[in-house]
Amino acid sequence: MEILQEKELVQLIRESDVPAYEKIYQLYSIRILKKLIRLLKDEEMAKEVLQDIFLKIWEKREQIDPEKSFKAYLFRITENQITDVFRRSASDLKLRTHLISASTELYNHIEDFINFKEVSSNLKLAIDALPPQRKKIFTLCKMEGKSYEEVAELLGISTGTVNDHMVKAGRAVKKHLMTSDIFMIILISSYISQ
């Protein structure tokens, strides 16, 4: 879509033109919904957030500046709505449980975020807080990439014991990361970069 057309649509939306609003919705909603689904891992929740985003645009239509990038404005509102979801999760146990579960993929690929100094340091704090044997097993498996069998043989314990330590270590590390402000930064960063 040409910038001129977008500016015209935005100007019409400012004047409460419903067809222009519907056109903007058609242009951006699918792209935003896909990103919300990837981030929230829940299609229904993503659809609710999408509706909130476009409701906010309609409610604040007179404040939209047609001379500025509408796309940037739209993504700023999206980012704010996502932040609100994660803030609500702190007090909503059901939502928090879902988000912890959905964050498994993010957690499993934590190495991708090691370049962020804050994340690296926060992850180190979480690992350092583990009991010594659990820390050693977690480090060998997750940080050094050893298999459960290799770790069991190396430490003279059963693979079942390694598995038990890994499950408990995983829960503890995830819990630590979920309670930190950096978790929200990681999620928003991954959303923006997708």
On average, the pLDDT of the chain sits at 77
The answer to pTM > 0.75 is no
Per-residue pLDDT, 90: 58
* CB-based contact 89:101 (threshold 8 Å): no
Per-residue pLDDT, 153: 92
For 119-156, what is each residue's pLDDT tens digit?
556 677 888 889 999 989 988 887 778 888 999 999 99
Per-residue pLDDT, 73: 87
pLDDT class of 69 with cuts at 50, 70, 90: confident
Place of tokens 């044997």: 133
Per-residue pLDDT, 132: 92
Nearest residue to 25 (alpha-carbon basis) of 49, 58, 48, 65:
58
Which residue intervals of 41-178 are DSSP H helices? Answer: 43-59, 70-89, 93-102, 104-108, 117-128, 132-138, 148-155, 159-178
Q: How far is Cα of residue 78 from the mean position of the Cα atoms in its chain?
A: 12
How far CA 179 is from CA of 28, 130, 183, in Å, comes to 33, 16, 8
Q: Following CA atoms 147, 149, 153, 158 in sequence, which dihedral angle do they give, to the nearest 10 degrees?
A: 130
Between residues 43 and 192, the one the model is more confident about: 43
Nearest residue to 178 (alpha-carbon basis) of 43, 116, 94, 87:
87
CA–CA gap between residue 166 and residue 170 (Å, rounded): 6
